[in-house]
Structure 1
Amino acid sequence: MNQHHPQQSHRVIEIDTRLVRAGAVLTAAGAMVAGVGMAIGAYAVFTAGRRMIRDMDVPPTQQAAAKWQQAKEASRAGLQAWQSASDAQNGSLARPGAQN
């Protein structure tokens, strides 16, 4: 008895290497153009920010120092008000004749 093995056909993918190379070149060129575009955009934003800071009447460091001083003064005033209210409440409870 003779066994016949069916001949398996091996399919080979044929790739046009010219197209692959062209796609790689175009991808690289596109990446370079995108990189240059991002660099130009970043430069524009950076220079606009510097110009905005330069044109301010009060520099950001002085603004921050003034706000910090205001916050410290407000905190001190709040603490003094809280202590005054606490002392007044404690004083009214300690007075003779005050009801508990």
Structure 2
Amino acid sequence: MNHHQPSQRTIEINTRLVKTGAVLTTVGAVVTWAGMAIVATAVFAAGRRLIREMDVPPAEQAAMKWRQAKEASRAGVQAWQSTSYGQN
């Protein structure tokens, strides 16, 4: 009777390559975050500079546009009502 023991296969992983890959991934992530921080800083600085250089601040522009929209709406309602009353 021939008794064979089943051979167990093992995966041999080159730990040096795994460690190198992990280090490179970490370095890449750090560089990416640094790049994103620099870009965000530049964009926010440009936005602040743009707002500072505006003749009319955004909040004041929004309030002015809101008043214009209300007046236009009121004028439209009045025109519609005067037309409706004139036809009846």
What fraction of aligned residue pairs are identical, expressed as a percent?
Answer: 68
Runs of at least 4 residues off by over 3 Å:
none
Counting matched residue pairs gives: 88
Q: So what's the TM-score if we normalise by structure 2?
A: 0.93
Mapping 1:32-43, distance limit 5 Å: 32-43=30-41
Give the gaps of 5 or more residues in structure 2. Answer: none
Question: Going by fraction, where is helix more abundant, 1 or 2?
Answer: 2
The AA in structure 1 aligned to 2:38 is I
Give the gaps of 5 or more residues in structure 1. Answer: 91-100
**Post-superposition CA distance 1:56-92 (Å, at most 9, x none):** 11110111011001001001100110110111011xx
Query: What's the C-alpha RMSD, in Å, of the aligned pairs?
Result: 1.0
Mapping 1:1-100, distance limit 5 Å: 3-90=1-88
Q: So what's the TM-score if we normalise by structure 1?
A: 0.82
The alpha carbon displacement at 1:7 in A equals: 3.3
The structure number with the bigger radius of gyration is 1
